[in-house]
Structures are given as structure tokens and as C-alpha cells.
Structure 1
């Protein structure tokens, strides 16, 4: 009987753990989105971090942000793709961070 009571007690404790974990709210900080999507821009400067975009994917992301003639893409030591592109007839330097944010150089 004691064994059964201990088993039910253990199951009750283990069953409540996921509910407690879900009740924690996210921190209110920039770059802490619940879901990052390709149309979301959450930083006005490139965010350093391990970048898994290939060069082709980086070029496509930059083009999707309205840039054309993307060239000279290279990933720097902070994991940020940097290159040159045109927008509105003006050539500028652009960057793509690991979160997918495309920013012109300032």
C-alpha cells in the first residue's frame, strides 16, 4: 500500500513539472522573440552569433529585403555576412546576422 502511494505521489509531482515550466513568461528584451520569422526585423544593427546561413541563403535574404546586385559576401568573425548591394539606385554595404536581420552599414 505504501508503495502504491509513493508511486502516485511521484507521478503527481512529475506530471506538474511541464505545467510549471510553461507558466514562466519570456524576458522582455529585444531579440528574445517567441518565434522569429523571415519578415521580422528585430535589430537596427547586426547581432553577433553563430550564423548557419550559407552564402546563397544570405544573398537571397538580402535580396528579399529589397536589395539588388548583391556581391562580395563574406562572413566575419562575429558570424555576420557582409557585402555590397544596391537599393534605390545607390550602392551600399549591407549585413545579415544569424537572426536574419538585414541592415545597411552606417
Structure 2
């Protein structure tokens, strides 16, 4: 009887720890952040600490060229740039995410 109880406890323990690991694998807050700029649907609101040169670098790293004079307004760096043959308005939020309009 004691062996059955111990075996059942081990199965429950292993199943619960495996579930916890799979839940952490897709974490939205990873231990190592990917530094590449991401294009998202809407910019995050918050205080932006990027300098103008850093913002230009993020836009360039995101594949944008011919970046116009950019300015910071409401915590977002914004300006116009070319993406391929199309001119778009680009915005950079405090997280480093790029949004286009």
C-alpha cells in the first residue's frame, strides 16, 4: 500500500513540474531580452529615455531608410521614413517597439 501511495505521489509531482516548465517556456518576460526592434500594432505609453541617435538607430535596425527629422512627443519618437518604396510614419515607444502608420 505504501509503495502505491509513493508511486502515485511521484507521478503527481512529475506531472505538476512538467506543466510548470511548459508554462514558463512562452513567458512574455524572458530572462534574456531580444534587442531587435519589434513592429507592433500600438505603441506603449510611458516615459521614453532613448536619445535621438538611439531612436534613429532602432529605426535603421528595423529596416527603415531615409529617416526624416524625428521628434519626441508624448513619450514617442516619431517621424517619417522609407520602407522599401513606401513612405511611412514611424513611432518608437519607450520599450523600443516600432509602430507605423
In the superposition, the TM-score normalised over structure 1's length comes to 0.62
| C-alpha separation in 1, matches of 2:89 and 2:57 | 16
| C-alpha separation in 2, matches of 1:47 and 1:98 | 7
Residue 94 to residue 40, structure 1, CA distance change in 2 (3 Å):
closer
Q: Which has the higher contact order (CA 8 A, sep 6+)?
A: 2
Tell me what 1:98 maps to: 94
Moved beyond 2 Å, runs of 4+: 32-37, 40-44
Gaps of at least 5 residues in structure 1 are 1-25
Tell me what 2:82 maps to: 86
| C-alpha separation in 2, matches of 1:54 and 1:46 | 17
Aligned length: 78
Tell me what 1:20 maps to: none
| C-alpha separation in 2, matches of 1:91 and 1:40 | 19
In the superposition, the TM-score normalised over structure 2's length comes to 0.65
Residue 36 to residue 50, structure 1, CA distance change in 2 (3 Å):
farther
Question: What per-residue deviation string (whole Å, max 9, x for no partner) do you get for residues 5-26 of structure 1?
Answer: xxxxxxxxxxxxxxxxxxxxx9
Gaps of at least 5 residues in structure 2 are 1-23
Contact 2:37–2:62 (CA<8 Å) still a contact in 1?
no
